[in-house]
Structures are given as C-alpha cells and as structure tokens.
C-alpha cells in the first residue's frame, strides 16, 4: 500500500504526479486496482494551494503502508510543525516503511529527525534556508532526487515523478518503469544525480528571439555550431548576431552552446553505460579531454566521477 501525505495548501502536482506513476505502473503489472491512499492529519477534503481539493483518510485508518510519499507546498511549514504528522512519519520509519518527500516535503522529514546524517535534497530555491535550519543534513542541492537507506527526497515538483519512477524500478524492474514512462509520454526517465537546472532556463530570455534557434542547436549538438553557423541559420551577419544574442540572453553564442553540450553530455553520462568517447563525439565535444575539462569547469568533477555518483545514488 502506498500512502500520499498531504496537508492544507499542499502542491497538487507533488501528490498527483507520484499517484499517476504508481497507478500506471500497477496497470503495467496487471493489477486493476492500485493500492494508493491519500492521507492527512484530518480526514476529509484537503484544499491544495491551487484551490483543488483531494479527499484524504486520517492516519489512524490505514496501517498497511509500505511506502509513504510526503507532498510539499506553501503549507509545509505548518505541516512540519504538526506533532500528529511528525509522530505518524516517525512511526512508519521505525517500522521500516520506505519514506519519501517531494520538493519542500523534505521539511517534514527533517523536522521528524529522519534526515539527520543522511543525504537529501529539495527545491533549489530553498537551499539556503534548508541548510541553515538543518545543519545535520548532508544536503545535495543539485540533484533530482536522493536515496539514503530507506529515506528518499526529491527536488521541485516534477522531480517527484522521477522519484516515483525510480521506486517503480526498485519494486518492479526497469521494463515496467520504462513502460510507465512511455505511458506518461516522458522523454526519458531522469537519473537521481541529474542537475535540477536547465542550460536554457539559465539564460535571461530562453524563449525570446533565439529560443527556437537554441532548441534546434540542442537537437544538433554533433554539428559544428560555430557563431557563423548559428548566424546563418538566424539570417543575420555573424557580428550582428553575436552582439544581439549576448544582449538578449546574457551569454555569448559559444558559451550557450557549451552549456547545452555539457547538459546533454551529463544526462548521457549519468543515465547510460555509453563510452565517454562516444558521448563526447555525439555532443559535439569531439575530444574526450575537451569534454573532461568542460565538466571540471562546470561541476568540479570529470565525467567518470559523475557517472559513479549517479550509480551510487
């Protein structure tokens, strides 16, 4: 039985995302009725921050929980202070139940003392506050999700889907997880070690005048993608293109392309066993040593170290 813990002003997708993953995975295994229960300190309708409500059972009514996923949201501060909620989470953890949080749901786990000495993450926007409040946590701000023993945490909102898919892999195997991801029409299932950040989103205006060009470049990283190549595709002179691109995005064309190459290369390094040389070729670095230097500049580690960390996580 999977329990989804919510509270007033929870984030709807934090709960609905994992629920959909577990529902579809159950169907992929041949079950017609997935064992999922929505739980709250008080039974009845619980209003999310969007105004949409979910109907929950109280903690006393369900005892056969094997996995508990705690949603986040703007109401998490009150939830983390709730003695009934903390006691419930602590009780399940003592029983060996797999417990997890989505986004700021990590505050509930931290207040319950379950993250002390453990690796954990949450939404990048809460990093400074979380680290200051919970210094005993081995905080990892740039991860999609973490697992430390029977305690799992994930980054902001949609990362709860990645966490749930990883749980499906553990419970039912890679094939069922892949079937579930395809049913959800996900491009791919992100590994826990993947960065929370997007190279395109780091630009000042990722969807501005050059948004389509950057999206095209991301799909063609094995091409040369020089300033002249990009300018030609944009229908501009190289000099005018370079000035206009930097003014709009806050980065030079070459730096933006390197960011894209690093991002895609990291995804492939962490999510596959593909040879580093092939990753470098496919993402336009050509030379593995050139890619290694770019990784060290960006992450402080070479590709092989990130691959080992992703497998360990």
Residues with a catalytic annotation lie at 103
User: Residue 205: phi, psi to the nearest 5?
Assistant: -135, 75
Q: Is 107 helix (H, G, I), strand (E, B) or coil?
A: helix
- Number of Cβ atoms within 10 Å of the Cβ of 147: 21
Largest CA distance in the chain: 69
Region at 68 (left for phi over 0; alpha for psi -120 to 50; beta for the rest):
beta
Residue count of the chain? 313
CB 25 within 8 A of CB 180: yes
Pairing of strands 36-40, 151-154: unpaired
Q: Can you tell me whether residue 282 is helix, strand or coil?
A: helix
Query: Any idea what DSSP says for residue 60?
Result: G
For residue 168, give the nearest of 96, 91, 71, 69 by alpha carbon: 69
Instruction: Identify whether the C-beta of residue 97 lies closer than 8 Å to the C-beta of residue 150.
Output: yes
What's the per-residue H, E or C state across 213-268?
A: HHHHHHCCCCCCCCHHHHHHHHCCCHHHHHHHHHHHHCCCHHHHHHHHHHHHHHHH
Which two tokens mark 239? 């000099």
Q: Give the residue among 200, 210, 217, 197 at the shortest CA–CA distance from 248.
A: 210
């Amino acid at each position: 039985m999977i329990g989804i813990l919510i509270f007033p002003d929870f984030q709807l997708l934090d709960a609905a995302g994992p629920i959909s993953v577990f529902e579809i995975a159950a169907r992929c295994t041949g079950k017609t009725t997935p064992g999922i229960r929505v739980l709250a300190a008080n039974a009845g309708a619980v209003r999310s921050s969007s105004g949409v409500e979910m109907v929950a059972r109280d903690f006393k009514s369900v005892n056969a929980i094997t996995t508990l996923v705690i949603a986040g949201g703007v109401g998490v501060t009150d939830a983390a202070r709730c003695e009934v909620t903390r006691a419930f989470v602590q009780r399940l953890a003592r029983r060996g139940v797999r417990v997890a949080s989505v986004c700021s749901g990590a505050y509930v786990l931290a207040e319950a003392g379950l993250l002390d000495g453990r690796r954990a993450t949450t939404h990048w926007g809460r990093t400074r506050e979380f680290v200051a409040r919970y210094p005993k946590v081995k905080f990892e701000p740039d991860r999609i999700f973490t697992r430390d023993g029977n305690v799992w945490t994930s980054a902001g909102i949609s990362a709860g889907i990645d966490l749930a898919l990883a749980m499906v892999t553990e419970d039912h195997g890679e094939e069922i997880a892949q079937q579930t991801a395809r049913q959800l029409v996900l491009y791919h299932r992100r590994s826990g070690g993947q960065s929370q950040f997007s190279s395109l989103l780091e630009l000042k205006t990722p969807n501005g005048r050059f948004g389509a060009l950057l999206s095209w470049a991301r799909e063609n990283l094995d091409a040369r993608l020089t300033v002249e190549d990009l300018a030609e595709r944009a229908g501009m002179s190289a000099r005018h293109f370079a000035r206009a691109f930097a003014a709009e995005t806050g980065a030079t064309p070459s730096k933006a392309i390197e960011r894209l190459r690093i991002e895609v290369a990291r995804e492939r390094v962490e999510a596959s066993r593909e040879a580093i040389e092939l990753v470098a070729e496919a993402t336009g670095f050509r030379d593995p040593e050139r890619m290694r230097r770019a990784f060290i500049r960006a992450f402080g580690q070479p590709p092989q170290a990130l691959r080992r960390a992703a497998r360990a996580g």
